[in-house]
Amino acid sequence: MNKTKKSKIQSLEGMKIKNSVRRLVSENPVFVRAVVIVPVLGAASSLKSGILISACMILTVLLLNLAMYPLSKVVPKRFINITAFLTAGIVVTPVCMLANYIAPAVAPLCGIYLPLLSVCALPMIEKRYYGAKYGIFKTAFYALFDGAGFAVAAVIFAVIREVIGNGTLYDRPLPGFSKFKFSFALAPAGAFLLLGFICAMFRKIFGMKEDNGEGMK
Amino acid sequence: MNGTQFWSLAVSAIFVQNLVLIYFLWDGSFYEAIKKPRTGLAYGLLVTAATTVTSIFCWLLNRFVLRPFSLTFLAPAAFVVIIVLLAAAVRFIVKLASPNHMEGILKILPTSAFGCAVLGLVLINVQMNTRGFFGTAFYGFCAGIGYLAAIFLVMSALERVRFSSPPSVFKGLPIALVTASLISLGLMGFSGIVIPY
């Protein structure tokens, strides 16, 4: 293999990893792009439900992107949004059934937010997947990392919320925390407040835009 | 249902179970809606219309097709199809009625119809299947009004935040979430009211 080809492959691999890590941190769909905060706020109230909603989201985003890949080449552009919405509704149905089968005790805790993943996953079919810019494997790879970005955020949020609000972790009482429950964290107002603080911390830790807040939208 | 029951249903839908501030049905398009009062009003009214009409059709589908034939596991897909069909019908009617003057509405129609609020409300209605036809339709209408109220509450609160100087890391989304938290805390005060539903 000559030098130029080798360096080209290396740079491509580097770009892939860089792009993937970007989806977890600087393009995080919850803490930075804020496109899928609904299931995090609604369903991630304990680690168990956080893990379940994360797994369902990864599966939904992956299936949705894979389904949209061939459809985007066939369906006219003006019908693409409707097609994506319909596909999301169809994709999320078996995902919900699977979640109810695998975790029958935890799935009801997620309530309406499990079927709502169909709408929430829509912003993760980015416009660039519609065209023929990426191959099917690359699309799947990036979809996986988009879902993983959501999972990271949901699990972090769920752990903090469960520890503060319930004094437990994975339904096991934590020494020191179980006596000082702050159940406000489990209420809707507490969820908004906690997510606001976590977003700000995330921003501070990773040194994101601090000038006008536009980077957070 | 009598007048008192309808009144309590309205209080419940607008305040106690507000779609945005209690059920968190707050998606990316909500951000667009709170930027300008005019857009917010148009968006809120469209969502109100969508929640009302979709509630009616989805109640009928659930009552006469999904439940009798034990097909409730297909509910998400079925409701999505209903929403798409209704959005297409509205688009067709608007284009027929006034093809030149309604372009603004046609632009925000997909984001309002395909947002979290409409599908979320329909799923809530199915979960609380005790309201009957008129109760469900009225609840859908009031939930849309609650969504509109939330748009203006958050918009006016953020307007005040704009003239203050929060820490730089809080600018943007974090301060919006903290503001929403305070409004939500205010609405939680209504949850002590006993509503027979």
A152-171 pLDDT, tens digit per residue, is 999 999 999 999 998 889 88
Long-range contacts of B86-95 (CB under 8 A, 24+ apart): B86/B50, B86/B53, B86/B54, B86/B57, B86/B113, B87/A82, B87/B50, B87/B113, B87/B114, B88/A82, B90/B49
C-beta separation of A25 from A57 below 8 A: no
Q: Which chain B residues are closer than 8 Å to A86 by Cβ?
A: 80-81, 84
Q: Please tell me the total number of residues recorded for chain A in this structure.
A: 217
Over residues B20-34, the pLDDT tens digits come to 999 988 877 787 788
Lowest mean pLDDT among A24-28, A195-199, B62-66, B116-120: A24-28
- Per-residue model confidence (pLDDT) at position A212: 44
Q: A34: which DSSP letter? A: -
Over residues A102-134, the pLDDT tens digits come to 999 999 999 899 999 988 888 887 655 555 567
Q: Token digits for A161?
A: 């919320």
Q: Do B27 and A119 touch (CB under 8 A)?
A: yes
pLDDT at residue B196 is higher than 60:
no
A70 touches chain B (CB under 8 A): no
- The shortest C-alpha distance from B2 to chain A (Å) reads 29
- Per-residue model confidence (pLDDT) at position B8: 86
Beta bridge partners of A168: A173
pLDDT at residue B38 is higher than 70:
yes
Please name the residue of chain A whose CA is at the shortest distance from the CA of residue B86: A82
B21 touches chain A (CB under 8 A): yes
Q: A79: which DSSP letter? A: G
Cα–Cα distance list, A2 to A7, A12, A13, B189, B197 (Å): 9, 16, 17, 71, 74
Q: B191: which DSSP letter? A: G
> What is the predicted ipTM?
0.88
Q: Residue A144 — pLDDT band, cuts 50, 70, 90?
A: confident
